[in-house]
Structure 1
């Protein structure tokens, strides 16, 4: 097999022939069904995310794949990280270069990946979870889930009745693209990040711009939109999603914290699936597993790989300075904390576009991590 070659070009430099090849690869490769692999996503994100480009891979002069990405200092990341939930080389089945081969061709000091789709022995598995509808659609899914997890879904039915009794009848709308509603959702997420000590991924500005820009995209078979739940006249929950083909990817949910007891976010997800199923959507992707409700909803999963590929040498060592600061805050508390630290740094590095901003974010995250460790250590057992 001919060696893998790469050309790095601006995303807007791709012509009709390249975009046609890109779409043919998606059509032929079911592993690339997610909206994150679509040309429309790459074009919009390429205009908004700083230092973005696409790697065009070839063998023997023939294009075999594309990898949209961004650079932050010496690090290379998937395009739109940390908001990109699936990434990999867009290629025909059987012609996808391995991560090891792609990383060598790219030659980056460091390649950060959280959800790589494609062949590799590097890194570790992570699971994303989905709701897969069969021929009987939403009703069949709900009947099976309610029979299997009766207590959970009966609780949600009671929560729905309780919210209606307190605030008025519930109403759900989807396919919304109101910029003011998106700003409401982003404010909710930023408040959540402050309360939980997580890095505010919207403080850098370009991530907010990306969500707004995607709302304005009107591609055939691809789009971004919101669904919203009102109780009476009160807006209680909003969820921002991407969709392409029959795939619907829940991306950014938010709900009024004072109504948490009524689970407005969960009720909104359920009603969104019901309404979207009427439009032909069959797979509803909830991203990484973890939140407790997902185990009750989801009847499918996918395996992706999380990996950090380092090029040997001084540059790789120097690039870990901020990670070291976060590790010091965590102390010697095992693999789970180290993994959390690594993911926290990956988000900071992807959002922030200058060394000063990245180090500031790392110091703030280190302080939050240290405070959490101290609070846990000082907690008095009940």
Structure 2
């Protein structure tokens, strides 16, 4: 097989068409994070993004999008932002993973949300998990009935709080595809506040991430949805759409309305609006949010791990990278698997955030 590494902007219309054809060979490849639009969008802001084009004879059989870091350390495109990663290829295709890395000039490739059923990287999985999906293929009412059966208390609570929000704040309405950039700015401000309030790293402190969301919003690849009570926006969600699949990405809400659970109300409205727009599933991504359990229709097996080429010129950088990341990844996996540990860790992060905020005010 022949492997050619290109900048995403060097892909022609024939290659992009073939990429989309290969997405149709595996239902899980329909996720927006695996669409060429995502790789092309990130590449506008991250100059180290590349795509390996794998050919068998005169036919392209796979695309491998990646980011090349320092010392030959490779990551999936938009690492840290993506909830699904994969080789864009038919599900049965098995490549020589180390040969692929060599052709890409990588000494190591890290992944944390990789489709687990693909055989190329299967020997290098260290952890497997499940990502939840909301199945809307039978329509919203069928999905809502599933939620009522799976989590009746959650469903009743959402409906009660929505009625309460309408009575006390204003009539509830939902805009599925909001084109106002000011509302996107508001969502990012809410999300930054949430990150800081809960002790997480503020992703929107990075200008390239802000620019990426604005680009996807302007091009229509990103869908901004806003829940209003009267004239006041109370929650919002920014996701990515590829055909019939929506990838949940950045939900946020105004903390002044927290007692109404506006995020959960918004998710139910998102499901209704997606079904009406012809979207058959919403990939919710990995995370410890308990409400996802009631909304989950099925789950996608994903994997975390890394592959390293032995005796490569990058071996020093590979060893250092492993020493820095392996213990942290292991600890994170233990916490994510245990709900009580996750809740304790969440409380610790929030306490740290309060302490940090108090220290900043004193200064």
Give the alignment of 1:40-189 within 5 angstroms.
40-60=37-57, 62-74=59-71, 75-97=73-95, 99=97, 102-103=100-101, 105-117=103-115, 118-119=118-119, 120-123=122-125, 124-135=127-138, 137-189=139-191
- Tell me, which stretches of 5 or more residues in structure 1 are unaligned? 342-367, 376-382
Deviations 1:292-334 (A, max 9, x none): 000011111100111122344322123356549xx6xx8xxx9
Deviations 1:338-371 (A, max 9, x none): 7679xxxxxxxxxxxxxxxxxxxxxxxxxx98x9
Out of 15, 19, 41, the position equivalent to 2:12 is: 15
User: 1:268–1:17: structure 2 CA closer, same or farther, 3 Å change rule?
Assistant: same
The answer for the alignment partner of 1:354 in structure 2 is none
Measured in 1, the distance between the counterparts of 2:330 and 2:22 equals 38
Is contact 1:49–1:79 with CA below 8 Å preserved after alignment? no
User: 1:131–1:338: structure 2 CA closer, same or farther, 3 Å change rule?
Assistant: closer
Query: What's the offset of the Cα at 1:72?
Result: 2.5
The answer for the alignment partner of 2:285 in structure 1 is 287
State the Cα RMSD in Å: 2.6
User: 1:287–1:337: structure 2 CA closer, same or farther, 3 Å change rule?
Assistant: closer
Q: Tell me whether 1:336 sits opposite 2:331 in the alignment.
A: yes
The answer for the alignment partner of 1:36 in structure 2 is 33
Moved more, 262-271 or 284-293: 284-293
User: 1:104–1:157: structure 2 CA closer, same or farther, 3 Å change rule?
Assistant: same
Is contact 2:131–2:301 with CA below 8 Å preserved after alignment? yes
- Tell me, which stretches of 5 or more residues in structure 2 are unaligned? 337-347, 356-363
Measured in 2, the distance between the counterparts of 1:102 and 1:225 equals 34
The answer for the alignment partner of 1:215 in structure 2 is 217
Query: What's the offset of the Cα at 1:59?
Result: 3.8
Measured in 2, the distance between the counterparts of 1:197 and 1:125 equals 26
Deviations 1:186-241 (A, max 9, x none): 111112221222222222211111111111224xxxx2111101111211001001
Measured in 2, the distance between the counterparts of 1:29 and 1:213 equals 28
Is contact 2:54–2:62 with CA below 8 Å preserved after alignment? yes
Deviations 1:249-289 (A, max 9, x none): 21100001122221101101111211221121111111114
Instruction: Extract structure 1 runs of 4+ deviating beyond 6 A.
Output: 338-341
Q: Secondary structure at the match of 1:236?
A: strand
Measured in 1, the distance between the counterparts of 2:75 and 2:143 equals 36
Query: What's the offset of the Cα at 1:64?
Result: 2.0
The two structures have a TM-score, normalised by structure 1, of 0.79
Is contact 2:136–2:271 with CA below 8 Å preserved after alignment? no
Measured in 1, the distance between the counterparts of 2:150 and 2:64 equals 41
Query: What's the offset of the Cα at 1:177?
Result: 2.5
Out of 244, 247, 258, the position equivalent to 1:246 is: 244
Number of equivalences:
331
